[in-house]
């Protein structure tokens, strides 16, 4: 896929230093951007790359296909919704082993 910027550059995952939630969160201002709708976020960043792990890059829009919330009231609300979406999409690289 042709990305609007390098997924590992300073606009992306900062040279592979930031992944998943961190990449999504750095695109918004906690004090100024809320409440925020999913539609607004995807409209602005939908084609941006998000590095999930060392071998997986997906678009913001792909992740938001799994977001079940239309609006986020604050930063923690945004994080919870995105965490659920990443898990639902099987894009959460950390797994807990259940005994």
pLDDT at position 98 over 60 = no
| Two tokens, residue 79 | 């994080």
Q: Alpha-carbon torsion 84, 88, 89, 91, what sign?
A: positive
> Is the pLDDT reported for residue 99 higher than 70?
no
pLDDT digits (tens, 9 = 90+) for 20-72: 888 898 999 988 999 999 999 999 999 999 999 888 899 999 999 999 999 99
The pTM of this model reads: 0.85
The full set of domain ranges for the chain reads 20-95
Residue 51 pairs with which residues in a beta bridge?
Answer: 57
Higher pLDDT, 74 or 17: 74
């Amino acid at each position: 896929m042709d990305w609007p910027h390098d997924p590992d550059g300073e606009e992306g995952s900062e040279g592979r230093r930031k992944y998943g939630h961190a990449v999504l969160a750095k695109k918004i201002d906690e004090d100024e951007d809320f409440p925020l709708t999913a539609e607004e976020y995807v409209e602005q960043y939908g084609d941006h790359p998000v590095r999930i792990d060392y071998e997986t890059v997906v678009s913001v829009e792909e992740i938001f296909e799994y977001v079940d919330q239309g609006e986020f009231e604050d930063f923690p609300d945004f994080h919870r919704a995105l965490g659920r979406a990443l898990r639902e999409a099987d894009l959460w690289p950390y797994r807990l082993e259940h005994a």
